[in-house]
A = this chain, B = another copy of it.
């Protein structure tokens, strides 16, 4: 059983939560650090893709999605997977079809739907880029031990779940 002073503390801290602004400086710092890491790595990858293959990161990301779906994907699927807007995908696909990396056709069973997939050229170029890309990522994370990687994976999974829950609460 908790001491009286503990109970007072607990009550106190719960009261505070309603009456006075809580201190969330730690979470804020965590968010900024997370953002910094991502921006840093993303910028590095973007630059290398540009220099080595003259390709943009969004194009690479889109091709990566399609590489995992040999039978093709709809634009909506791509949009959800990449977590970008529908209109964004439209333009991206347009340019990749233009450059011969993507094939696009209207679904036979539903004329609303556009199915896109990698062309032979698109797949070949993507595989070539992906192989090198993987070594860049390995190098960027090189100072993390296997244990660090596992632990980060676990904590980020928890973070993702927490954020999704919070986003859900807002939309509800």
Contact = CB atoms under 8 A, between A and B. Distances in A.
Interface string A122-134: 0000000001001
A69 interface: no
A131 B155 CA distance: 26
A67 B5 CA distance: 40
Nearest to A134: B24
Copies in the complex: 2
**Residue of A134, A149, A159 with highest tally of chain B CB at under 10 A:** A159
A4 to B, nearest CB: 24
Interface string A72-112: 00000000000100000000000000000000000000000
A contact residues, range: 35 or more
A81 to B, nearest CB: 10
A7 interface: no
B141 A148 contact: no
A163 B162 CA distance: 26
